[in-house]
Structure 1
Amino acid sequence: MIYEGKAITVNLIEDGIAELKFDLQGDSVNKFNRVTLEDLKAAVEAIQGNSDVKGVLVTSGKDVFIVGADITEFGEAFKQSEEEIVAWGLEANKIFCAIEDLSVPTLTAINGIALGGGFEMCLSTDLRVMSDKAKVGLPEVKLGLMPGFGGTVRLPRVIGADNAIEWICMGAENKPEKALKDGAVDAVVAADKLKDQSVAMLKAAIAGEINWQARREEKTSKLKLNTMEQMMVFETAKGFVAGQTKGHYPAPIVAIKSMQKAANMGRDKALEVEAKGFAQLAKTSESNALIGLFMNDQLLKKKAKEFDKAAKPTNKAAVLGAGIMGGGIAFQSALKGTPIMMKDIAEAGIELGLNEANKLLAKRVERKKMKPLAMGETLNRIRPTLSYAEFGDVDTVVEAVVENPKVKKMVLAELEDKVREDAIITSNTSTISIDLLAADLKRPENFLGMHFFNPVHMMPLVEVIRGAKTSPEAVATVVAYAKKMGKTPIVVNDCPGFLVNRVLFPYFAGFAGLVRDGADFQKVDKVMEKFGFPMGPAYLLDVVGIDTGVHANEVMAEGFPDRMKADFKTSMEVMFENERYGQKNGKGFYVYETDKKGKPKKVVDQATYDLIKPVVAEAKDFEAEDIIARCMIPMCIEIARCLEEGIVDTPAEADMGLIFGIGFPPFRGGACRYMDAVGMAEFVALCDKYADLGNLYKPTARMREMAANGESYFG
């Protein structure tokens, strides 16, 4: 034994080869936390002091190689000043440089996932052999950061600047074929041959059959591009990335600038440039928000896992009501392996649902994400029917009929008599109270909401809505089924609109008030899109459907009349009265034409301005900050109410619901983190500035208490 620590061991295995094995005690994965870095430093020093070592083989004792840095340690680390973060980064990099500078050849055997710092560890060795089951990459940009353990220095010198920019700015997990094609690894081998092949290659390097010194020289020298080539590569990349990120995500641009600045430097000076870029990004609000999202996502997965013990398996499902939504639900269930009955009262509905599933599957085949045989197998899992004849062994049913409480109650009562007594029945309602729908059911304990978002195949969120009488087992079963479908479930309690729509409609109300007061709906859209939403409120209403919006707004107004019942006629109501329902019939606030790809393209229509003229004030040019405040304040106050009333358990779940459900800007982290970034005292003062606009703009007593005490949602 050359070295033994809590995360790393080093043993001589054969012919002078030292195996440096990552195997973090007490954890299911390897990651770069403080313990691992300290161990790595000590392990390298032990190897340096051992004259018997002729080569170093880096391996993992777990199914993964190294998943990356321990993100839970970022919070404390990033509270330091930029200068302190730079110093920390350079100190850590001395360890990786010590590996790179060993007097013997080094090789990493990549057995599983090697991401972020894990892949940077691989890059510090001379050679890399990858299992055909592994994935490698530098995903730091997804956390608002850039590589900090030498990734921006070594990767461009190993695979070329063009490829490195793509790898770092996309942050993808790369499969073995791409890693080998781009030159990130030297060989890809079958998983069961990985160690033998790695040892063989390392022995070849020790014997002088592989020029490992030349590879090392290339990694530690200047980039092999002349001045003109550098300008072409980096300037073109900066322009393209800026267009893609719209200025909201600084990390990719900082990474490119760092690589460009360090192109004519040797390794050690280049690492100083990287450390400064990393530290700069570590202090941004974007990285704080995106790291927060990662932590929130981990919480969601942990909470969802807690339901597993009480869950019953869903081996056969059913959806009532075919059409676009029913077809989407059937597609998603079948795609992930759960057979599903798709029932409708008419052949036309069945045909529409099957066409939707078929269209989605055909697109997957076209994009080479699925083979035709798999498409056929998936379609075979969808069983269309006009009767309840085969519902006797269904485990979970999703009711997805028209959004009308009378119709839903009639269908649910009929359904309850056709399924087993222990079958779980859910409603895909977007706004109607679960307790209202459960009122006449014989087994309300087996009933709850399962709200999918449209389009089902793209939207990751499923709201699981617990009614007053819903059993814990029913909730757990539906959470498990949602996970099985590849969705992210968030459990909320019943109220009009539940979480997402309850919070979305005050945002629409803020928009309605702006238009009433003379704001141009086009400008409102542009401002909110620049704020970070994928589409502004008028465009979003067109996509959701004006008729759907009017119906949901009525439910919200009835549920929360003190603040959601408008005392004026809204522009949305005018659109509805004139049968302008949005994209579904080609005209709403905008009119829709079909582009070359067959997708709807919005076009400005003067008729909209003529129609809403009687219900709006004289045109007024609002400042962007006014537009943002008037849209965002009602949404943020409502999310605070949902937390205070226990509709949703945690700020993390509230924020993830908005990001997954309505496209809240991820780089802002969600409504709770947005309020934290503003500061609760400042946010309450902003609310007070707009208090004359009504109850939607009046913060809760708890928010005022938080402001007075300097509290925040995420501490």
Structure 2
Amino acid sequence: MIYQGKSLNAALLENGIADVVFDAEGSVNKFDQQTVRELEEVCQALIDNGNVKGAVVRSAKGVFIVGADITEFGALFAMPDDEILTWVAKTSQAFDKFEDLPFPTVCAINGFALGGGCEMTLACDLRVADTTAVIGLPEVKLGLMPGFGGTVRLPRLIGADNAMEWMSTGRNNKPDAALKVGAIDAVVAPEKLQAAALSMVQDAIDGKIDWQARRAQKKSPLSLNKNESMMSFATAKAMVAAQAGKHYPAPHVMVDTLAAASVMDREGALKLENEGFVKLAKTDAAKAQIGIFMADQLVKGKGKKMAKAATKQVNQAAVLGAGIMGGGIAYQSAVTGTPTVMKDIAQPALDLGLTEAAKILGKGMQRGKVDAAKMAKTLNSIVPTLEYSAIKDADIVIEAVVENPKVKGIVLAETEQHVADDAIICSNTSTISINQLAASLQKPERFCGMHFFNPVHRMPLVEIIRGEKTSDETIAAVVAFTLKMGKTPIVVNDCPGFLVNRVLFPYFAGFSKLVLDGADFVAVDKVMEKDFGWPMGPAYLLDVVGMDTADHAAGVMAAGIPERLQKIDNDPVEALYKAQRLGQKNGKGFYNFGVDKRGKPTKTAAQEAYDLIKVEHKAFDKEEIIARLMIPMANEAVRCLEEGIVASAAEADMALLYGLGFPPFRGGIFRYMETMGLQNFVALADKYAHLGPIYQISDGLREMAAIGKSYFG
């Protein structure tokens, strides 16, 4: 044994080849600070040995290296800039030391080689991957850029244009795509990986591969002339500006760094990379996006733990109520491998549900993601029916009929008479109390809410709502089924609107009050989209939701939380609903919807909407617009956490991110408040407290701000 550490070991094989193996104590290999130290130590041990002629780097696990240990970033990035710079420079020097070993090195890549894992492969002279490999530099998704030499080595290996596309998108790459651009040198079957790597390093030792020339290329300036350089980086900057916009600094800094470093050798280029990394580490966007990653890990971990405890498997599903929502749920169940009965009381609704599923699959075929066999299998797994008898074998039944408590209660009671005693029954309600609906059932312990978001196949969140009598076994089984469907489950307790809609409707109320005070809804949408970062402004979102749906839900919220969410006098939403301006569903709401001469959708501000609102317009600055909409949402989210509706701030943030499209660069509603500073948020909310209860903060939030506590522990 040449070296034995906790994460790395090295042994000398025959022919003088060192076998360098990443094998951390956990389930995967990561580049934590300990592993970086061991990388330096193993390099020195290899140099000191004297008998090493070449080295193969591999993993003892099912994946190579998943990247840096992101759990360390919080403490690291809180350090002063000069200390972060020292850390990242020292880390990247460990990779340099490996690259400078006095003999050829080959990396054997299996499974994930991402971030720091990818950068480890780049520090080797040659790379061979098996067919399971996934290679990429996804740091941009954390608001960062590669910091261990990725921006230096990758462009010198695959060209500046390919490298900037890899890094600015953060996309994962399959072996064939990586081979095509030259990021790896060969692809083999998994069982041949180690032998192929040993053969490749032997060829390098024997002089059949000029590994020294390859190494020299990675350490030299980019081979671009002045015109090529100008065209390459100007094009990349334009693409980043168009796709990333102003809210995501990472791809901008990365391209600028790569451009400046293109004329430098490795030492100069790495210095610029280190400085760019530190600059990004201190941004609010990085803090938010790293927070999202951590919150996502928490949510997924809780989901997997609950699913593991499930005692009932779902092998057959049923959906009650076809149409667009029911068809979407049936599609999602069937496409992920669960045969699904779709029941309705009317044949046209069943036809609509099947059409919805076929439409989703058709679009998948157009994009090359679905083949004819998958389309046929999915559609054949959806069985339309008008008869209750068809659901008798279902392990889970999801009710998705009209959002009316009386109708839902009748349907649920009928359903219970036609399913097995251990079948789970769920309601896809968006606002109606689960406890109220449970009163219709003889066995309420097997009942819970299962709130999907539209369009079902694209929205990742499913809110699972626990009623007072819902059993743990029911929740575990529904969580497991949600994961099987490819969705992210977040379990919440019952209350009006549950979590997502409960925090959304105060936001809508803030919008209505602002419009009644004279704000132009187009101007409000522009600020909330362009400046705050929502995918849709509130007026546009209401048009998509539908004014009938929004008005009904507002009534439910008013009845459930009358102290804060009473309906607003002269509410523009209610005015549009009464005028049958329902939004996109009938082509007219705040906006008029249509198509242009080329058949592309159009959206124009509706004069009819202005006429119905009947207020004199006045200008509001963007800070006030944002404050008047976001304070009510934040306040209600805080109350949901304080009342135990949601278990953690992290889960609330992920629910809003996945359910509403909360801007990722802001990290979620709690991360947004903490980035602002809780004391600053309290002061801002107090400034608008005179506008009504939705602007008045809780005592709990005021106390947390006063003593400097964090919602993230």
Class of the TM-score when normalised by the shorter of the 2 chains: over 0.9
Shift of 1:567: 4.1
1:292-307 → structure 2 map (5 Å cutoff): 292-307=291-306
Shift of 1:510: 0.4
Partner of 1:645: 643
Is the CA contact 1:311–1:480 (under 8 Å) kept in the aligned structure 2? no
Letter in 2 for 1:542: D
Higher mean Cα deviation, 309-318 or 337-346? 309-318
Alignment partner of 1:43 is 2:42: yes
Alignment partner of 1:338 is 2:338: yes
Higher mean Cα deviation, 309-318 or 153-162? 309-318
Note the alpha carbon deviations across 1:547-580, whole angstroms, 9 max, x for none.
1101101101111112111341111111111111
Cα 1:583/1:117, change in 2 over 3 Å: same
Shift of 1:601: 2.7
Alignment partner of 1:564 is 2:562: no
Shift of 1:594: 2.7
Partner of 2:590: 589
Is the CA contact 2:96–2:123 (under 8 Å) kept in the aligned structure 1? yes
Q: What TM-score, normalized to structure 1?
A: 0.98
What is the alpha-carbon distance in structure 2 between the residues aligned to residue 47 and residue 597 of structure 1?
66
Partner of 2:705: 707
Partner of 2:544: 543
1:584-663 → structure 2 map (5 Å cutoff): 584-594=585-595, 600-613=601-614, 616=615, 618-663=616-661
Note the alpha carbon deviations across 1:148-170, whole angstroms, 9 max, x for none.
00000000000000000000001
Task: Give the secondary structure class of the aligned counterpart of 2:231.
Answer: helix
Higher mean Cα deviation, 442-451 or 360-369? 360-369
Note the alpha carbon deviations across 1:664-702, whole angstroms, 9 max, x for none.
111111111111111111111111111110111000111
1:300-379 → structure 2 map (5 Å cutoff): 300-307=299-306, 308-379=308-379
Note the alpha carbon deviations across 1:406-445, whole angstroms, 9 max, x for none.
1100111100100011110000000000011111310111
Partner of 1:186: 185
What is the alpha-carbon distance in structure 2 between the residues aligned to residue 686 and residue 84 of structure 1?
34
Shift of 1:90: 1.2
Task: Give the secondary structure class of the aligned counterpart of 2:557.
Answer: helix
Shift of 1:14: 2.1
What is the alpha-carbon distance in structure 2 between the residues aligned to residue 47 and residue 355 of structure 1?
64
Shift of 1:387: 0.5
Is the CA contact 2:509–2:568 (under 8 Å) kept in the aligned structure 1? no
Shift of 1:596: 7.5
Letter in 1 for 2:40: K
What is the alpha-carbon distance in structure 2 between the residues aligned to residue 621 and residue 111 of structure 1?
58
Shift of 1:349: 0.7
Cα 1:174/1:271, change in 2 over 3 Å: same
Shift of 1:608: 1.6
Note the alpha carbon deviations across 1:236-294, whole angstroms, 9 max, x for none.
21122112122010000100011011001000111000000000000111100100110
What is the alpha-carbon distance in structure 1 between the residues aligned to residue 596 and residue 701 of structure 2?
46
Letter in 2 for 1:71: I
Letter in 2 for 1:50: N
What is the alpha-carbon distance in structure 1 between the residues aligned to residue 680 and residue 219 of structure 2?
49
Note the alpha carbon deviations across 1:94-130, whole angstroms, 9 max, x for none.
1111111111111101011100000000000110001
Letter in 2 for 1:559: G
What is the alpha-carbon distance in structure 1 between the residues aligned to residue 613 and residue 34 of structure 2?
64
Q: What TM-score, normalized to structure 2?
A: 0.99
What is the alpha-carbon distance in structure 1 between the residues aligned to residue 536 and residue 113 of structure 2?
36
Shift of 1:595: 5.4
Is the CA contact 1:583–1:600 (under 8 Å) kept in the aligned structure 2? no
What is the alpha-carbon distance in structure 1 between the residues aligned to residue 617 and residue 93 of structure 2?
62
Partner of 1:92: 91
Partner of 1:392: 392
Alignment partner of 1:264 is 2:266: no
Partner of 1:674: 672
Task: Give the secondary structure class of the aligned counterpart of 1:412.
Answer: helix
Partner of 1:518: 518
Q: What stretches of structure 1 of length at least 5 have no aligned partner?
A: none
Partner of 2:459: 459
Structure 1 residue ranges (4+ consecutive) displaced by more than 6 angstroms after TM superposition = none
Q: What stretches of structure 2 of length at least 5 have no aligned partner?
A: none
Shift of 1:51: 1.6
Task: Give the secondary structure class of the aligned counterpart of 2:49.
Answer: coil
Letter in 1 for 2:341: M
Note the alpha carbon deviations across 1:616-662, whole angstroms, 9 max, x for none.
3x211001111000000000000000001100010001111111111
Shift of 1:306: 1.9
What is the alpha-carbon distance in structure 1 between the residues aligned to residue 594 and residue 600 of structure 2?
8
Partner of 2:418: 418
Partner of 2:578: 577
Task: Give the secondary structure class of the aligned counterpart of 1:114.
Answer: strand
Letter in 1 for 2:28: V
Shift of 1:599: 5.8
What is the alpha-carbon distance in structure 2 between the residues aligned to residue 282 and residue 42 of structure 1?
27
Letter in 1 for 2:703: E
1:57-68 → structure 2 map (5 Å cutoff): 57-68=56-67
Cα 1:79/1:596, change in 2 over 3 Å: farther
What is the alpha-carbon distance in structure 1 between the residues aligned to residue 217 and residue 568 of structure 2?
71
Partner of 1:173: 172
What is the alpha-carbon distance in structure 2 between the residues aligned to residue 373 and residue 243 of structure 1?
37
Note the alpha carbon deviations across 1:435-465, whole angstroms, 9 max, x for none.
1111131011111100000000000000000
What is the alpha-carbon distance in structure 2 between the residues aligned to residue 599 and residue 42 of structure 1?
61
Cα 1:251/1:348, change in 2 over 3 Å: same
Cα 1:487/1:311, change in 2 over 3 Å: farther
Is the CA contact 2:310–2:480 (under 8 Å) kept in the aligned structure 1? no
Partner of 1:136: 135
Cα 1:475/1:13, change in 2 over 3 Å: same
Cα 1:455/1:597, change in 2 over 3 Å: farther
Shift of 1:175: 0.4
Shift of 1:540: 0.3
Alignment partner of 1:555 is 2:525: no
Shift of 1:605: 2.2
Letter in 2 for 1:711: K
Higher mean Cα deviation, 132-141 or 221-230? 221-230
What is the alpha-carbon distance in structure 1 between the residues aligned to residue 497 and residue 368 of structure 2?
38
Is the CA contact 2:410–2:440 (under 8 Å) kept in the aligned structure 1? no
What is the alpha-carbon distance in structure 1 between the residues aligned to residue 438 and residue 241 of structure 2?
51
Is the CA contact 2:319–2:342 (under 8 Å) kept in the aligned structure 1? yes
Cα 1:425/1:34, change in 2 over 3 Å: same
Partner of 1:493: 493
Letter in 2 for 1:600: P
What is the alpha-carbon distance in structure 2 between the residues aligned to residue 310 and residue 55 of structure 1?
50
What is the alpha-carbon distance in structure 2 between the residues aligned to residue 510 and residue 60 of structure 1?
54
Letter in 2 for 1:480: A
Shift of 1:597: 8.0
What is the alpha-carbon distance in structure 1 between the residues aligned to residue 689 and residue 461 of structure 2?
33
What is the alpha-carbon distance in structure 1 between the residues aligned to residue 577 and residue 613 of structure 2?
11
1:499-510 → structure 2 map (5 Å cutoff): 499-510=499-510
Question: Please, what is the CA RMSD of the aligned residues?
Answer: 1.1
Higher mean Cα deviation, 150-159 or 9-18? 9-18
Partner of 2:535: 534
Task: Give the secondary structure class of the aligned counterpart of 2:222.
Answer: coil
Partner of 1:211: 210
Shift of 1:310: 3.1
What is the alpha-carbon distance in structure 1 between the residues aligned to residue 506 and residue 566 of structure 2?
10
Is the CA contact 1:676–1:714 (under 8 Å) kept in the aligned structure 2? no
What is the alpha-carbon distance in structure 2 between the residues aligned to residue 426 and residue 126 of structure 1?
56
What is the alpha-carbon distance in structure 2 between the residues aligned to residue 200 and residue 452 of structure 1?
52
Note the alpha carbon deviations across 1:491-544, whole angstroms, 9 max, x for none.
000011000000000000000000000000000000000211001000000011
